[in-house]
Structure 1
Amino acid sequence: MSQFSKEQIVESVPQKGFFGHPKGLFTLFFTEFWERFSYYGMRAILLFYMYYELSKGGLGLSEPLALSIMSIYGSLVYMSGIIGGWLADRLLGTSKSVFYGGVLIMAGHIVLAMPGNITMFFISMVLIVLGTGLLKPNVSSMVGDIYADDDLRRDSGFSIFYMGINMGSFIAPLIVGEIGLKYNFHLGFSIAAVGMFFGLLLFLFTKKKNLGLAGLQVPNPMSGEEKQRFVKLFMIALVFLAIIIFATVKLGWLTFNSFIGLVSILGFVIPTIYFIAMYRSKKTTADEKSRILAYIPLFIAAVMFWVIAEQSSTILAFYADKRTNLDAFGFHISPAWFQSLNPLFIIVLSPVFAWLWMKLGKRQPSIPQKFSFGILFAGLSFLIILLPALIGGTDALVNPIWLALSIFVAVLGELCLSPVGLSATTKLAPKAFSAQTMSIWFLSNAAAQGLNAQLVKLYSADTEMLYFGVIGGVAIVLSIVLFAIAPFIQRFMKGVH
């Protein structure tokens, strides 16, 4: 189906019907709503499930190990987007990839919902990692497909789509977190599975009418000979990988710590390889090569941002459980509820940012400038959370307002960077690597969480102020540098604004 042009795809999608945006945005908005409900519901209790004692229904892992596993799990979720992007570009198309990904995610949550041991826990993680890799980059790529290249609604549309993501993310910790921590972890995980089921139903029943041709074609399809070669190489690689895993486990080389270290390294190696491969490809035009060069500093800035933002499910979740006064307002606050603050603030502020970009039109800040604002706010959020320790020390419990304020400031940065990054990726992507470039965008998150797997080991009551201060300070310095070189980056973007 590679004969469809961009114009034909856009024309097949009803261009009005969802807040002044293409009707397909409704389908993608709510598909991602339910996928994020399932993911963030599970994530709201996953860290606690790992380090809570067996008597409390947890797995009884050590706190430092649980923090590192949580980061590595997040890294693998986004790293798997490379596989999902490649399968969409070469074999499946984005629409089928979204559906199959949802099925795998639901299966992973079902496994988590069944009482079991550490083995079942890792089986569920593999299913969710693979499923998210198929769904997450491709549903975002489809949002770009339903807009014309010069459509000024695009950034606003991604902001609305981003609000849908966060509506699911807001509700999930309140429901899954409450039930999982108060009653039973596995019951909480089962609710996450039901959420993904609803998302699959909605996608199936509305995609034909609302999405038209979007997501149906394979941008860079394999020939019959290439498919046969791929199947052979895949089977050989699978057997080879199984042998390596078996041998390294037997020899004692493959341990939790060595695996965490390996994933941390791959988080940076894989995007580097992809940037080089796309740049050197014969299918990449001269203008597209220039845009790839412009994309690299944006990628680095995104890594810095996600290093801070993704600690909401690790260090800040741990901070909520161990360092925060959960009875400050006369009733008990679940530590999982703090993970609803990020999406709540985004829901409130997303329409404001969407209106702002629409209002400014061609006068709005450039993409690199928006990125610089994003990491500036992220850095400030970490400086805020070190203030309680500076004022009252690390022994006293902290008023929850401090944690809420830190999260709020980080959200200001997220709205400057994340939806803009999604939109910029669809604009800067080489045509032959459209879905894979979206996967690279999510690799910025994978690299950040791989780095976090090492950083979280450095956090303790004794290092708390130094930890937040150094990371926050580095982000602020990088934001200043990026703002200074923004005009230079813009020239390499070859007409993309």
Structure 2
Amino acid sequence: MSKYTEEEIVQSVPQKGFFGHPRGLMTLFFTEFWERFSYYGMRAILLYYMYTSVKDGGLGIDNGTAKSVLAIYGSLVYMSGIIGGWLADRILGKQKSIFYGGILIMFGHIVLALPMGATALFVSMALIIIGTGLLKPNASSVVGDMYSPQDMRRDSGFSLFYMGINLGAFISPLIVGALSTSYNYHVGFGTAAVGMFIGLIVYWVTAKKNLALAGLEPQNPLSATEKKAYTKYFTIGAIVLLVLGFISIKFGWLTINSFIMLVSLLGIVIPTIYFIVMYRSPKTDKVEQSRLLAYIPLFITAVVFWAIYEQSSTTLAEYADKRTNLDIFGFTINPAWFQSLPALFVITLAPLFALLWMKLGSRQPSTPKKFAFGLMFAGFSFLIMLVPALTSGPNELVSPIWLTLCFLFAVIGELMLSPVGLSATTKLAPKAFSAQTMSLWFLSNAAAQALNAQIVRFYNPGNEAMYFGILGGIAVLLSLVLLMFSKVVERLMQGVQ
């Protein structure tokens, strides 16, 4: 275990200095701002780059396949948090993991900025997947490390941290989208690389003083014997994967479609295994086991929520490009700019939610109820899309107000679920698996996007009513089920608020 106690870590961090919160929150706020600037800027134009014809500067990939590839990309980005969390808990510590992850992300965007076609796309994806797995779960976990478990500022702090994420996500599609239209897609991807470089500088300059002991040491470092064993397992695993990959390519088994199906299955199997391993670990005591059981319905709720929310970059991005009237009062809207709407709504509403939770204090809704309300609003966001689907033809362009309302309702749900989920994860996590449990939280997004890789293929303008109606209805129904059983979940949380 770590040589520092939880109390020593909290006391080492300056507890004031950023809107009444620990000063380290400022470091992580701006690091995540620039990391999200790079990621969401790239993502805002990536679908268009993939399905735009080669003569127009794209890759010419089929629309349905492009959406599935983007969903799988998002799934692997969050799935890689397993590796990042494990490396932080057992070898690197969270602070080093954040920095090394940022370096990989920056190089990933640099590769994508090079006009090298599909080769650059897949190399870039690999670098960004690994880098985000190191950076994202560990940055969020360090936020939790700076607060004591009883500190009522925790949910508010995560809400402010979440606002930093969304400031970057708001600005980047506007800039990257405009540059990709005015110049080309590669200039846009290069701008994303510059954003990550700035984030690395901010982190390098401020982390040592502001974060102090938070995330400095591994929580559960490997012993000398374990290091030898894991080195052997890693070497054998790498060889097996290389051999299987070579054979699959040689005989034509490894195709885009088969890879998408494989990742979709892994998105369900991996979190299931993860829950079992942590629950049965001798390092997890009875109270922590109960809290893990409470975490399961929250995790499932999050998966359904993200399955709807993450279609902003696939189904809804295509909807913005092909089904939305982009000429308003003589001004042409760039379809990539719609990707800024969720972040804009978060920036506007996050301070209100942070103040609301602080003002309500112990009277605020329980974590399970917040999750249920969050999922309910996500369902409403898709049910709203039934209106243009039922009142217009599949070849008609509809008002941008419908996408705007869709994003607004989804964000209201996000603010009830996502920052609260980050906070709940840090409180419900077994001590021996603190960073890895945060990785498990991000696996809810990975599982959702793995499912989406199959789901988004069914969308087309001719079946919009059925598509949005079924998915929205399922979300609302499951939210009502969680509300009914919220008291049971609260008891399993064993004193965690």
TM-score range, shorter chain: over 0.9
Q: Residue in 2 aligned with 1:448? A: 448
User: Are 1:285 and 2:285 matched, yes or no?
Assistant: yes
Q: Residue in 1 aligned with 2:174? A: 174
Q: Residue in 2 aligned with 1:197? A: 197
CA contact (8 A) 1:328 1:399 kept: no
What is the SS of the residue equivalent to 1:99?
A: helix
Q: Which amino acid aligns with 1:57?
A: G
**5+ unaligned residues in a row in structure 2: which ranges?**
none
After superposition, what is the alpha-carbon deviation per residue over 1:162-194, rounded to whole angstroms, capped at 9, x for unaligned?
000000000000001111133111111111001
Question: Which whole-Å CA distance do the structure 1 matches of 2:329 and 2:214 have between them?
Answer: 49
User: Are 1:430 and 2:437 matched, yes or no?
Assistant: no
Question: Which whole-Å CA distance do the structure 1 matches of 2:150 and 2:357 have between them?
Answer: 15
Q: Residue in 2 aligned with 1:272? A: 272
CA contact (8 A) 1:45 1:181 kept: no
After superposition, what is the alpha-carbon deviation per residue over 1:414-452, rounded to whole angstroms, capped at 9, x for unaligned?
000000000000000000000000000000000000000
After superposition, what is the alpha-carbon deviation per residue over 1:259-296, rounded to whole angstroms, capped at 9, x for unaligned?
00010010010000000000000000100000000000
Question: Which whole-Å CA distance do the structure 1 matches of 2:34 and 2:235 have between them?
Answer: 34
1:91-490 alignment, distance < 5 Å? 91-490=91-490
Question: Which whole-Å CA distance do the structure 2 matches of 1:388 and 1:328 have between them?
Answer: 18
Q: Residue in 2 aligned with 1:9? A: 9
1:38-49 alignment, distance < 5 Å? 38-49=38-49
Q: Residue in 2 aligned with 1:74? A: 74
Query: Post-superposition shift, 1:253?
Result: 1.0
CA contact (8 A) 1:98 1:139 kept: yes
Query: Post-superposition shift, 1:395?
Result: 2.1
Judge which range, 233-242 or 127-136, deviates more.
233-242
Q: Which amino acid aligns with 1:201?
A: I
Question: Which whole-Å CA distance do the structure 1 matches of 2:377 and 2:330 have between them?
Answer: 31
What is the SS of the residue equivalent to 2:332?
A: coil
- Percent of aligned positions that are identical: 66
Query: Post-superposition shift, 1:223?
Result: 0.8
What is the SS of the residue equivalent to 1:282?
A: coil
1:24-39 alignment, distance < 5 Å? 24-39=24-39
Q: Which amino acid aligns with 1:318?
A: E
What is the SS of the residue equivalent to 2:327?
A: coil
Question: Which whole-Å CA distance do the structure 2 matches of 1:64 and 1:396 have between them?
Answer: 20
CA contact (8 A) 1:84 1:135 kept: yes
Q: Which amino acid aligns with 2:147?
A: Y
Question: Which whole-Å CA distance do the structure 2 matches of 1:177 and 1:431 have between them?
Answer: 42
Q: CA RMSD in A?
A: 0.8
Query: Post-superposition shift, 1:242?
Result: 0.7
What is the SS of the residue equivalent to 2:485?
A: helix
After superposition, what is the alpha-carbon deviation per residue over 1:128-182, rounded to whole angstroms, capped at 9, x for unaligned?
0000000000000000000111000000000000000000000000001111133
CA contact (8 A) 1:45 1:336 kept: yes
CA contact (8 A) 1:385 1:406 kept: yes
CA contact (8 A) 1:108 1:125 kept: yes
Query: Post-superposition shift, 1:198?
Result: 0.6
Q: Which amino acid aligns with 1:94?
A: K
CA contact (8 A) 1:27 1:202 kept: yes
After superposition, what is the alpha-carbon deviation per residue over 1:75-131, rounded to whole angstroms, capped at 9, x for unaligned?
000000000000001111100000000000001000001110211210110000000
Question: Which whole-Å CA distance do the structure 2 matches of 1:44 and 1:369 have between them?
Answer: 32
Query: Post-superposition shift, 1:217?
Result: 1.0
Q: Residue in 2 aligned with 1:62? A: 62
Q: Residue in 1 aligned with 2:496? A: 496
Q: Which amino acid aligns with 2:439?
A: S
Question: Which whole-Å CA distance do the structure 1 matches of 2:120 and 2:144 have between them?
Answer: 37
**5+ unaligned residues in a row in structure 1: which ranges?**
none
Judge which range, 454-463 or 279-288, deviates more.
454-463
Segments ≥4 residues shifted beyond 4 Å: none
After superposition, what is the alpha-carbon deviation per residue over 1:326-373, rounded to whole angstroms, capped at 9, x for unaligned?
003320000000000000000000000000000100000000000000
Query: Post-superposition shift, 1:394?
Result: 2.1
Query: Post-superposition shift, 1:393?
Result: 2.5
CA contact (8 A) 1:80 1:129 kept: yes
CA contact (8 A) 1:85 1:138 kept: yes
Query: Post-superposition shift, 1:237?
Result: 1.0
CA contact (8 A) 1:99 1:200 kept: yes
What is the SS of the residue equivalent to 2:495?
A: coil
Query: Post-superposition shift, 1:65?
Result: 0.6
Question: Which whole-Å CA distance do the structure 1 matches of 2:120 and 2:13 have between them?
Answer: 42
Question: Which whole-Å CA distance do the structure 2 matches of 1:342 and 1:251 have between them?
Answer: 44
TM-score by length of 1: 0.99
What is the SS of the residue equivalent to 1:415?
A: helix
Q: Which amino acid aligns with 2:100?
A: Y
What is the SS of the residue equivalent to 1:462?
A: helix
What is the SS of the residue equivalent to 1:254?
A: coil
User: Are 1:86 and 2:63 matched, yes or no?
Assistant: no
